[in-house]
C-alpha cells in the first residue's frame, strides 16, 4: 500500500466529506424549522459548525476505512460517511405527513447543490488557468462525495431520507408498516452494502445517472 498516496487521498477528501455531511444535516434542521419544528435549533444543531454534527464512526472511522480498503481499486477510492442525525420532532410540523417529505429531501438536495458548486469551482479553475492538481482532485472529490451521499440517502429504507419520503407519500396503512422497519433499517442497509447490492444496484447506477444529467452538461461548456 502506498501510504503517501493514502495520506494525499485523505487530505483531498477531508474537506468535501466534512462540508457534505455538515450542510446535509443542517439543511434538515433549517427546513424543519421552516415547517414548524424548532427542535434542532433549540439543541444547537441547526448550525454549519461541523463539530456539532461529527459522528466518530460515520464521519471519521467509516470514510477512513473505505479509503484504506478501496484505495487500490481501479477508478479511485470509494468514500461514504454520515453525521449525527439532526433531531426532528415530526409531530411539531404543521402538516407532519406532508412536511416530513420536504424535511427529508432537504439533505440530499443540499448535496446535489454542493455537487454543482464543486463543478462550478472546477470550471472556474480551468477558465482561470489554475494548474494545481491537488485542488482539481479536491473539486472532483467534492462532486463524487456529494453525489454518493445524496443517492445513498435516497434509498427508500427508513431511517434514511428516501425511507422518510416514501413514508410521507404512501397511504397511512403501508406508511405505518414501512415506518416499523426503522429500528432495523441500519442493519438492512449494512447487509445490502456488505453483499454488494447497494453499491452495484443503487449507488453506482444513480451516481452515473445524476452525473450525466447534472454535472456532465456543465463540464461540456469548457470542453
Cell 473505505 -> residue: 66
Catalytically active residues are: 25
Give me the sign of the Cα torsion angle 103, 159, 203, 81.
positive
CA neighbor of 26 nearest in space, from 13, 36, 15, 41: 41
- Nine-digit cell string for 123: 470550471
**Model confidence band, residue 74 (pLDDT cutoffs 50, 70, 90):** very low
CA neighbor of 73 nearest in space, from 145, 5, 148, 134: 5
pLDDT (0 to 100) of residue 69: 62
Q: Which one is predicted more confidently, 69 or 147? A: 147
**Whole-prediction pTM:** 0.89
Domain that holds residue 43: 3-222
Highest mean pLDDT of the ranges 7-11, 130-134, 149-153? 149-153
Name residues whose C-beta falls within 8 Å of residue 1's C-beta, 6 or more positions apart in sequence. Answer: 68, 71, 72
As for how many domains the chain has, the answer is 1
CA 137 to chain centre: 19
pLDDT (0 to 100) of residue 118: 98
Does position 219 have pLDDT exceeding 70, yes or no? yes
Q: Which one is predicted more confidently, 6 or 222? A: 222
Q: Say if CB 210 and CB 151 are below 8 A apart.
A: yes
Does position 81 have pLDDT exceeding 80, yes or no? no
Does position 98 have pLDDT exceeding 80, yes or no? yes
Amino acid at each position: 500500500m502506498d501510504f503517501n498516496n493514502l495520506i494525499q487521498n485523505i487530505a483531498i477528501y477531508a474537506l468535501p466529506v466534512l462540508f457534505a455531511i455538515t450542510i446535509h444535516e443542517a439543511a434538515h434542521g433549517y427546513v424543519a424549522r421552516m415547517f414548524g419544528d424548532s427542535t434542532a435549533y433549540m439543541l444547537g444543531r441547526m448550525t454549519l459548525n461541523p463539530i456539532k454534527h461529527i459522528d466518530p464512526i460515520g464521519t471519521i472511522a467509516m470514510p477512513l476505512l473505505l479509503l484504506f480498503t478501496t484505495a487500490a481499486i481501479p477508478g479511485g477510492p470509494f468514500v461514504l460517511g454520515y453525521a449525527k442525525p439532526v433531531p426532528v420532532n415530526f409531530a411539531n410540523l404543521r402538516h407532519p405527513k406532508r412536511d416530513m417529505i420536504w424535511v427529508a429531501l432537504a439533505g440530499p438536495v443540499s448535496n446535489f447543490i454542493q455537487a454543482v458548486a464543486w463543478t462550478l469551482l472546477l470550471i472556474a479553475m480551468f477558465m482561470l488557468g489554475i494548474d494545481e492538481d491537488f485542488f482539481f482532485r479536491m473539486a472532483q472529490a467534492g462532486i463524487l462525495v456529494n453525489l454518493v451521499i445524496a443517492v445513498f440517502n435516497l434509498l427508500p429504507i427508513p431511517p434514511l431520507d428516501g425511507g422518510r419520503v416514501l413514508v410521507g407519500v404512501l397511504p397511512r396503512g403501508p406508511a405505518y408498516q414501512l415506518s416499523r422497519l426503522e429500528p432495523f433499517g441500519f442493519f438492512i442497509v449494512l447487509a445490502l452494502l456488505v453483499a454488494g447490492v447497494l453499491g452495484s444496484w443503487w449507488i453506482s447506477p444513480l451516481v452515473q445517472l445524476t452525473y450525466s444529467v447534472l454535472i456532465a452538461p456543465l463540464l461540456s461548456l469548457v470542453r
